[in-house]
């Protein structure tokens, strides 16, 4: 089904570029809704899960709040609230950096790691279902195309 049909638009989308951007945004919203349902079953948000995944795959030293905000594409104020809630839930701990006490290092806790491990298999099953039917080459092309779009988007402002 075309995007126009899914959205029940009365007119054709004027350019393929616009249709592509609309499709990315619509698909993103759809994926977010599916993820929201999955994550809410664990009493965790998508942002918290993404943070835990970033911390799990980071160095053992953890990462600064600024690094985390950059990786999650959120501002510093939002990541502070996110880390506050995760710290309260004992999913992460916040430590002062040895070189600069003003810098806070975020580390995943044992409970945070256990939470991620519990969720990962179901999460990857969800990813496989969403990507089902796409061949390896098609996925590689999509990843490359999205990388190009991200690069272009970073240059806009």
- Per residue in 60-87, pLDDT tens? 778 888 889 888 877 777 889 999 999 9
Locate 155 and state its tokens: 């240059």
**What single-letter DSSP state applies at residue 133?**
T
**For 8-30, what is each residue's pLDDT tens digit?**
898 988 999 999 999 999 999 99
Whole-angstrom distance, CA of residue 105 vs CA of residue 64: 4
Rg of the chain taking only CA atoms, in angstroms: 19
Residue 59: per-residue pLDDT: 67
Query: Quick one: average pLDDT of 27-50?
Result: 91
* Helix, strand or coil, per DSSP, at residue 45: coil
What's the pTM? 0.81
**In terms of pLDDT, which residue wins out, 45 or 100?**
45
């Amino acid at each position: 089904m075309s995007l126009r049909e899914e959205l029940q638009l009365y007119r054709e989308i004027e350019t393929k570029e616009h249709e592509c951007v609309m499709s990315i945004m619509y698909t993103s919203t759809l994926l977010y809704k599916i993820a929201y349902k999955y994550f809410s079953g664990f009493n965790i948000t998508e942002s918290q899960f993404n943070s835990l995944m970033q911390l799990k795959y980071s160095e053992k030293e953890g990462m600064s709040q600024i690094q985390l905000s950059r990786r999650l594409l959120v501002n510093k104020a939002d990541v502070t609230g996110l880390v506050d809630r995760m710290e309260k839930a004992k999913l992460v701990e916040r430590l002062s950096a040895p070189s600069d006490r003003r810098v806070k290092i975020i580390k995943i806790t044992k409970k945070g790691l256990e939470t991620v491990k519990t969720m990962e298999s179901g999460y990857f099953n969800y990813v496989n279902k969403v990507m089902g039917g796409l061949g390896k080459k098609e996925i590689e092309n999509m990843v490359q195309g999205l990388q190009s779009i991200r690069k272009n988007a970073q240059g806009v402002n």
